Amino acid sequence: MRNFMYRKILPIFFFLFAFLTTGAMAQSDDVVIIDSEYSQRQEVLDNLPVGTTVIEIKGISNPWKSIREYLEQNRSKQVVHLFANTNYNAVKLGGKTYDINAVDQEFEFSMLEGLYQGSYLQLLVYDCNLGSNPDGLALLKEISEMSYFNIAVPTNCNSIFGADLKFDHTTMNQPTHNSIFQ
């Protein structure tokens, strides 16, 4: 009876223990940044995969400084999923509206450049409006050049929750991740 236990059950136990320990210790390289005033905030939170790291940006301090400080403390995070209200040529984050002029004056974008370590961080902007026009794409290109983020945005979508959501425009022509909802 003792040999049966050692030969059959004990190896299975060790395999399961190692498998579960590895799974529990694995960390995702994704982080969700969501503006506290985002119009679809609750729907996004309800549809995120279990265990997703979420950082909520409020109008208390500089939103880009908050993002930079988080990424400095969590170097394993390589993909930032951004949910914020936008229009055709601006992003509203942390109570501040960033159009092309505000981006040019934002010091924190140059500080984000310091996070570059041989591969670009991915910033996926979940919005169907910003990527569909030249002014929005120019804004994203400016942010990308100042921050060293490879910014991806869909150029033709109806919903950020759709299974067909594709980030088909990138500012640095780098491959990017799929939607966090897929």
Please tell me the total count of domains within the chain: 1
1 lies in a domain? Answer: no
- Residue keyed to tokens 């022509």: 173
The whole-number average pLDDT for the span 88-117 is 91
8 lies in a domain? Answer: no
In this prediction, residue 22 has a pLDDT band, given cuts at 50, 70 and 90, of very low
- Rounded to whole angstroms, the Cα distance separating 160 from 124 reads 11
- Contact 103/92 with Cβ under 8 angstroms? no
pTM over 0.75: yes
158: containing domain: 28-170
Distances (CA, A) of 109 to 38, 49, 53, 68, 149: 21, 29, 22, 9, 10
163 lies in a domain? Answer: yes
pLDDT tens-digit series, residues 158-178: 999 988 899 999 999 898 889
The whole-number average pLDDT for the span 27-39 is 91
73 lies in a domain? Answer: yes
Residue 182 has pLDDT above 90, yes or no: no
What's the confidence (pLDDT) of residue 166?
95
114 lies in a domain? Answer: yes
Percentage of residues in the chain with pLDDT exceeding 70? Answer: 84
Read off φ and ψ for residue 92, nearest 5 degrees: -105, 120
Q: Give strand ranges (E) for the chain.
A: 30-35, 54-57, 79-83, 85-87, 90-93, 96-98, 121-125, 149-153, 169-170
In this prediction, residue 12 has a pLDDT band, given cuts at 50, 70 and 90, of low
Task: Determine how β-strand 79-83 pairs with β-strand 121-125.
Answer: parallel
- Rounded to whole angstroms, the Cα distance separating 165 from 173 reads 18
- Residue keyed to tokens 């981006």: 103
What is the CB neighbour count within 10 angstroms for residue 1? 4
12 lies in a domain? Answer: no
- Please give the residue that has the higher pLDDT: either 42 or 118: 42
Lowest mean pLDDT among 12-16, 60-64, 108-112, 151-155: 12-16
pLDDT tens-digit series, residues 116-147: 766 789 999 999 999 999 999 999 999 999 99
What is the four-CA torsion angle of 112, 77, 81, 104, rounded to 10 degrees? 0
CATH number at residue 119: 3.40.50
Lowest mean pLDDT among 49-53, 60-64, 81-85, 86-90: 60-64
89 lies in a domain? Answer: yes
- Contact 68/55 with Cβ under 8 angstroms? no
181 lies in a domain? Answer: no
- Rounded to whole angstroms, the Cα distance separating 160 from 137 reads 17
Residue 2 has pLDDT above 90, yes or no: no
